[in-house]
């Protein structure tokens, strides 16, 4: 459920789930990954032509990553993306919401 609506569902799950570290890890990872995608594609969307093209390609990448992350979480795997997964683990242990 952490990935269904991108960073929004990640935030909801983070606020709702207080105990389960598996769910909280995926919630943090969702917020980091899809929050970054949202910010970058919004900024690139302002730039005519080249920005639109790059933004569209990032949208396709985000969609593929979204499916992979949902499947891995559904399978019970703590699938860690290189940068975002490390940051999610760090925030999991230090940030209390």
Residue with tokens 């890890």: 25
**Alpha carbon 1 to chain centroid distance?**
12
**What is the separation of C-alpha 15 from the centre of its chain, rounded to a whole number of angstroms?**
15
Per-residue pLDDT of the chain (97 residues; tens, 9 = 90+): 889 898 899 999 999 988 898 999 999 999 999 999 999 999 998 999 999 999 999 999 999 999 999 999 999 999 999 999 999 999 888 877 6
Distance CA 38, CA 91 (A): 20
Q: What is the predicted pLDDT for the residue at 97?
A: 65
């Amino acid at each position: 459920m952490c990935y269904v609506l991108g960073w929004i569902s990640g935030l909801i799950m983070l606020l709702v789930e207080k105990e389960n570290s598996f769910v909280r890890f995926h919630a943090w990872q969702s917020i980091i990954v899809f929050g970054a995608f949202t910010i970058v594609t919004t900024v690139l969307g302002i730039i005519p032509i080249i920005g639109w093209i790059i933004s569209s390609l990032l949208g396709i990448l985000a969609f593929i990553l979204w499916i992979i992350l949902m499947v891995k979480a559904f399978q019970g795997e703590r699938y860690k993306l290189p940068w975002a997964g490390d940051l999610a683990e760090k925030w999991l242990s230090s940030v209390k919401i």
